[in-house]
Amino acid sequence: MRDAGSPARSYAVAVLPGDGIGPEVIGEAEAALQAVAEQCGFGVTTQRFEAGAQRALDKGAPMDPDLPDELSRFDAILCGPFGDPRVHDTIVVWGTILALRQRFDQYVNLRPARVLPGTSPPLRDIGPGDLDIVVVRENTEGEYGGIGGRVHRDKPGEVAIETSVFTRAGIERIVRYAFEYARAHGRRRVTSATKSNALRHAMPFWDDVSLAVAAQYPDVEHELALIDALAARVVSDPGSLDVIVASNLFGDILTDITAAASGSLGTAPSANIDPTRANPSLFQAIHGSAPTIAGKGVANPVAELLSVALMLEFLGEAEAARGLERAVELAAADPAARTADLGGTATTSEAGAAVRERLGEALSAATA
Amino acid at 190: V
228 in catalytic set: yes
208 in catalytic set: no
Q: Choose, from 105, 130, 256, 334, the residue flagged as catalytic.
A: 256
Sheet holding 76-79, edge to edge: 43-48, 10-16, 76-79, 281-284, 271-273, 108-114, 132-138, 243-246, 189-194, 221-226
Q: What is the rounded distance in angstroms from the CA atom of residue 90 to the CA atom of residue 101?
A: 15
CB 303 within 8 A of CB 111: no
Q: What are phi and psi of 40, to 5 degrees?
A: -100, -5
3-state secondary structure (DSSP) of residue 264: coil
Q: Choose, from 11, 107, 144, 177, the residue flagged as catalytic.
A: 144
Alpha helices per DSSP H over 96-224: 97-103, 168-184, 202-214
Q: How many residues are recorded in the chain? A: 368
Q: Choose, from 195, 242, 274, 341, the residue flagged as catalytic.
A: 195
Q: Choose, from 3, 59, 228, 296, the residue flagged as catalytic.
A: 228
132 in catalytic set: no
11 in catalytic set: no
Pairing of strands 189-194, 243-246: parallel
- Cα–Cα–Cα angle for 87, 92, 97, nearest 5°? 160
256 in catalytic set: yes
Q: What is the rounded distance in angstroms from the CA atom of residue 149 to the CA atom of residue 255?
A: 27
Q: What is the rounded distance in angstroms from the CA atom of residue 361 to the CA atom of residue 342?
A: 23
The residues carrying an active-site annotation are 144, 195, 228, 252, 256
